[in-house]
Chains A and B, each alone.
Chain A
Amino acid sequence: MNKAANGKIEIVNAGKIYDPAGIHVVAVENCSFNLEAGQFVSVVGPSGCGKSTLLNTIAGFDTITSGEILMDGELLASPEIQTPPGPDRVVVFQGGALFPWKTVSENIIYGPVIQKNMERPEAEKMAISLLNRVGLTKVETKYPSELSSGVQRRVEILRALINQPKIMMLDEPFRALDAVAKSVMHNFLLELFDENPRTMFFITHDLDEAIYLSDLVVVMTTRPAKVKKIIKIDLPRPRRLDVIKTEIYRSVKADLLSIVHEEALKAFKAGEREMA
């Protein structure tokens, strides 16, 4: 897992207009920001504001209708170009997408085996050592349905990481977890990240989560989504839970809260207008 990965992402004036039945819905408009290689970037903003559109476009599931997205200086997506999904840009899905018909170990080794990067026995050994390193023992022959959702999440993250992607994208991956499981997941993710930093695109609603994990928090506006503010989180790494007691954390949180609150109010009023 120590291949040098770049994974700088530049989003330049990206825009997305959905046109279902002739009704123009501007989901994203003139959106620009960068994810430096190896940077942990969280994107927060009101629901349905087009955060997922950006993620899906980088992943290759969707397209943008204006602007462009570059990866390591090469064009990844534009209105004309859509790079098909691949193991250099792996997504961890909101609802979890471990294959229920494969065991934990079969799930983890799926990427390397299917790409013929590794022989199956070698990959299996690696899967077990990965699992052990994160404290999951005796789960490799289990099926996902036999595991708690927290463990399923961790396995899915390992399944992504074993491919050594340039960028990992997580779409509200811990939304369904309770507070305790969530905090376990945060430290799990941070440990993996510290050990092997790579570009992370993390979508969330949870401000504490965003600050605790990220180098950069991008706040999006209500639809059409634009970048409202980019906040740099100057907390040292490796981070442990006590950073939430620091002055920096508290002031960042206060800033973020007021910005998000402002956007949420706008979204609320826009909703009222639509209703009226």
Chain B
Amino acid sequence: MTRIKNLAAAPTFYAALAGMILFFSSWYFLTETLTLPRFKNIPDPLSVVTEWSAIHPKYGVSLFTKPYYVDILYSIIRTYAAFAGAVVFGVSLGIVMGWSRILHNYTFPLVEIFRPMPPLSWIPLAVLVLPGIELPVVFVTFIAAFFATVLNTLLGVQSINRDYFLAAKCLGAKPRDILFHVVIPGSLPFIFTGLQIAMGIAWMSIVAGEIIAGQRGLGYYIYEAAALFQYEQVIMYMFTLGFLGYVSSVAIRYVGNLLMAWEEAKRKAR
């Protein structure tokens, strides 16, 4: 029992490494050694890595070819454009909803109806209304990230201790001061939690949007490659998405920590 406990408490790097090794070796085992009938066509990790890092790849795309980066760039621009929109509009609406009782009463039921609508269900209307192919895909991604941001921002504003508002008023703060010195900093921890979720949702939706309505981009090429039975490419793009999502998450956490030095101090004080 203690041995298992020690293993669980192992330094993060070694634990992470052990987890990876376990995962990739089972993958290899299932696809190459055991070759279960349903797993037959799935490429093993080695051939994925080989294709990914080939200077002259079998299917034309690898770390050393330009199209790979063009696809990445397309997906990044779409995702980040949608995410930026979600931050600007989602945070604003969330704060206003938390700030004004009246506006909250008007909008909350609407938000709660729209929020569970799957992003992909917006595609027909998006294509109908918005020109071109870029805008509909970005819009669908935006919609998904937007509602997650609104809800978390609203919860953030509602989570602020009421005494902070009263204390600020006692000290002479006007509504504008309260917005910038109480409401916004007070809801930042929730906002950033929301942004992490929103970023995850944005990456999920962008791929779906690209598959259905897109041209270029990682999602589009996953679908293309699958149609051509190029499964090494599919897996390679899947992992690329995983990395991009991971990096995005880390970046949000980093910005959050920069903006919320007090949260860091609180963690250390514990």
Interface centre among B168, B182, B186, B260 (most CB of A within 10 A): B168
B54-107 contacts to A, CB under 8 A, are none
CA distance A89 to B169 in the complex (A): 10
A93→B166 contact, CB < 8 A: yes
B170→A87 contact, CB < 8 A: yes
B172-213 contacts to A, CB under 8 A, are 172-174, 177, 181-182, 185-186, 188
CA distance A144 to B105 in the complex (A): 35
Q: Quick one: closest A residue to B171, CB to CB?
A: A111
- Give chain B nearest CB distance to A114 CB in angstroms: 5
B164→A97 contact, CB < 8 A: yes
Q: Quick one: closest B residue to A162, CB to CB?
A: B171
B170→A89 contact, CB < 8 A: yes
Q: Tally of A-B residue pairs with Cβ under 8 A?
A: 76
- Knowing A142-B265, A143-B262, A145-B266, the reply to whether A59 touches B185 (Cβ < 8 A) is no
Q: Is the interface of B mostly helix, strand, loop or mixed?
A: helix
Interface centre among A59, A93, A142 (most CB of B within 10 A): A93
Q: Quick one: closest B residue to A163, CB to CB?
A: B171
B171→A159 contact, CB < 8 A: yes
Q: Which of A101, A114, A159, A163 contacts B185 (CB 8 A)?
A: A101
CA distance A185 to B172 in the complex (A): 26
Chain A residues with CB under 8 Å of B9's CB are: none
A48 close to chain B: CB less than 8 A: no
- Knowing A100-B266, A101-B262, the reply to whether A86 touches B181 (Cβ < 8 A) is no
A251 close to chain B: CB less than 8 A: no
Chain B residues with CB under 8 Å of A174's CB are: none
A84 close to chain B: CB less than 8 A: yes
A197 close to chain B: CB less than 8 A: no
CA distance A89 to B265 in the complex (A): 31
A87→B185 contact, CB < 8 A: no
Chain A residues with CB under 8 Å of B125's CB are: none
A99 close to chain B: CB less than 8 A: yes
CA distance A47 to B98 in the complex (A): 32
B269 close to chain A: CB less than 8 A: yes
CA distance A176 to B266 in the complex (A): 20
A71-90 contacts to B, CB under 8 A, are 84-87, 89-90
CA distance A110 to B177 in the complex (A): 10
A143→B170 contact, CB < 8 A: no
- Knowing A145-B269, A146-B269, the reply to whether A97 touches B166 (Cβ < 8 A) is yes
Chain A residues with CB under 8 Å of B171's CB are: 87, 90, 110-111, 114-115, 159, 163
Fill in one digit per residue for B140-152: 1 if any A CB lies within 8 Å of its CB, else 0.
Answer: 0000000000000
Fill in one digit per residue for A86-110: 1 if any B CB lies within 8 Å of its CB, else 0.
Answer: 1101110101010111100000001
Fill in one digit per residue for B227-270: 1 if any A CB lies within 8 Å of its CB, else 0.
Answer: 00000000000000000000000000000000011100110110
Interface centre among B161, B172, B173, B185 (most CB of A within 10 A): B172
Chain B residues with CB under 8 Å of A60's CB are: 169
A135-164 contacts to B, CB under 8 A, are 142-143, 145-146, 159-160, 163
B169→A85 contact, CB < 8 A: yes
B15 close to chain A: CB less than 8 A: no
A188 close to chain B: CB less than 8 A: no
Q: Quick one: closest A residue to B265, CB to CB?
A: A143
Chain B residues with CB under 8 Å of A99's CB are: 164, 167-168, 181-182, 185
A61 close to chain B: CB less than 8 A: yes
CA distance A93 to B170 in the complex (A): 11
CA distance A115 to B186 in the complex (A): 21
Q: Which of A87, A100, A102, A114 contacts B177 (CB 8 A)?
A: A114
24 contacts between A and B (CB under 8 A): A85-B169, A87-B171, A89-B170, A90-B170, A93-B163, A97-B164, A99-B164, A99-B181, A99-B182, A99-B185, A101-B186, A101-B188, A110-B171, A111-B172, A114-B171, A114-B173, A114-B177, A115-B171, A143-B261, A143-B262, A143-B265, A143-B266, A145-B265, A163-B171
